[in-house]
């Protein structure tokens, strides 16, 4: 896997993404990657499961010297069952969520407080560095490299900035550099550790719903921004989506927004 690891590093992918692709290829246990993937691809398999498998095999073949054209000809098309629509937290659920998050210990406590206030992917949040809490054009926010190693700036609102400042006080101040949220052995906390806590919270607080996860919190941020009048292009920039079509698929109006649209027709 050394060749694959070197290739992934050159691609500038997030460490968590690199680890995931290496783990996927290790799980193939040395089988022919194209045949292994073909056996995994099914119309009944969630598309969210199929896509990372296909991406891992694609990078593996690229590392072996295959061309993009050869790979596209070899690999099966990505097909699968679309993921079910997961609702954003309602305002009342969000209040209950913040109360529950405050009972957690750092750094997960601060991460949970920031996720629905920034819309960051969980991998992006876990890999933030101290120096990425900065100002741009006089606006405080998070300036970091997200998916596809694309630089993105997400402004902090007042509650988000307070959550970070309170965190700095609890840990003895803001460092000049280094990982913002440490896990074990001077490495950033893992997304799996945060997901474990969200599963615990939804079990302990049924009011939060049965699907609470870092992804639902990202969805909550974007849905609430949409509800408060943010246009699709702004949401695309905040979410870090390459295509505006992804942003459009990602969001759906809730019942209150639909009712408001109907009422305005009267």
**Token couple for 66:** 């295959």
**Token couple for 247:** 């942003």
Q: E strands along the chain, which residues?
A: 133-136, 139-145, 151-155
Residue showing tokens 């290829």: 25
CB 43 within 8 A of CB 80: yes
Q: Exactly one of 20, 109, 219, 241 is catalytic; which is it?
A: 241
Q: Exactly one of 7, 59, 121, 224 is catalytic; which is it?
A: 121
215 is catalytic: yes
6 is catalytic: no
* End-to-end Cα separation, the chain, in angstroms: 63
Strand 139-145 versus strand 151-155 pairing type: antiparallel
56 HSE (CA, 13 A, CB side)? 23
Closest CA to 112 of 179, 160, 61: 160
Q: Exactly one of 58, 59, 202, 218 is catalytic; which is it?
A: 218
Q: For Cα atoms 238, 163, 232, give the angle at the middle one, nearest 5 degrees.
A: 15
Q: Exactly one of 86, 147, 152, 205 is catalytic; which is it?
A: 147
Percent helix, strand, coil in the chain (nearest 5)? Answer: 60, 10, 35
Measured from the Cβ of residue 41, the count of other Cβ atoms closer than 10 Å reads 17
DSSP 8-state assignment for residue 139: E
169 is catalytic: no
Distance CA 88, CA 221 (A): 8
145 is catalytic: no
54 is catalytic: no
Q: Exactly one of 129, 152, 215, 252 is catalytic; which is it?
A: 215
147 is catalytic: yes
Looking at the annotation, which residues are catalytic?
Answer: 121, 147, 215, 218, 241, 250
């Amino acid at each position: 896997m050394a060749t694959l690891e070197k290739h992934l590093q050159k691609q500038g992918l997030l460490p968590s993404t690199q680890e995931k692709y290496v783990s996927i290829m290790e799980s193939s246990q040395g089988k022919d990657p194209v045949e292994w993937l073909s056996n995994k691809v099914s119309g009944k398999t969630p598309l969210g499961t199929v896509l990372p498998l296909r991406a891992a095999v694609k990078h593996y073949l690229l590392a072996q010297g295959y061309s993009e054209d050869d790979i596209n000809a070899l690999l099966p098309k990505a097909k699968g069952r679309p993921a079910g629509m997961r609702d954003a937290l309602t305002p009342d659920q969000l209040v209950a969520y913040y109360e529950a998050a405050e009972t957690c210990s750092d750094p997960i406590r601060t991460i949970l407080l920031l996720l629905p206030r920034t819309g960051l992917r969980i991998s992006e949040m876990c890999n933030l560095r101290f120096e990425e809490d900065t100002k741009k054009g006089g606006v405080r926010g998070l300036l970091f490299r997200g998916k596809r190693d694309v630089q993105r700036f997400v402004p902090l609102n007042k509650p988000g900035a307070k959550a970070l400042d309170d965190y700095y006080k609890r840990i003895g101040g803001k460092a000049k550099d280094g990982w913002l949220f440490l896990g074990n052995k001077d490495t950033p906390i893992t997304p799996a550790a945060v997901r474990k806590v969200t599963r615990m919270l939804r079990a302990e607080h049924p009011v939060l719903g049965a699907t609470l996860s870092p992804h639902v919190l990202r969805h909550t941020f974007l849905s609430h921004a949409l509800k408060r009048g943010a246009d699709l292009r702004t949401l695309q920039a905040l979410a870090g989506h390459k295509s505006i079509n992804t942003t459009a698929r990602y969001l759906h109006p809730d019942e209150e927004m639909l009712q408001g649209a109907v009422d305005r027709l009267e």
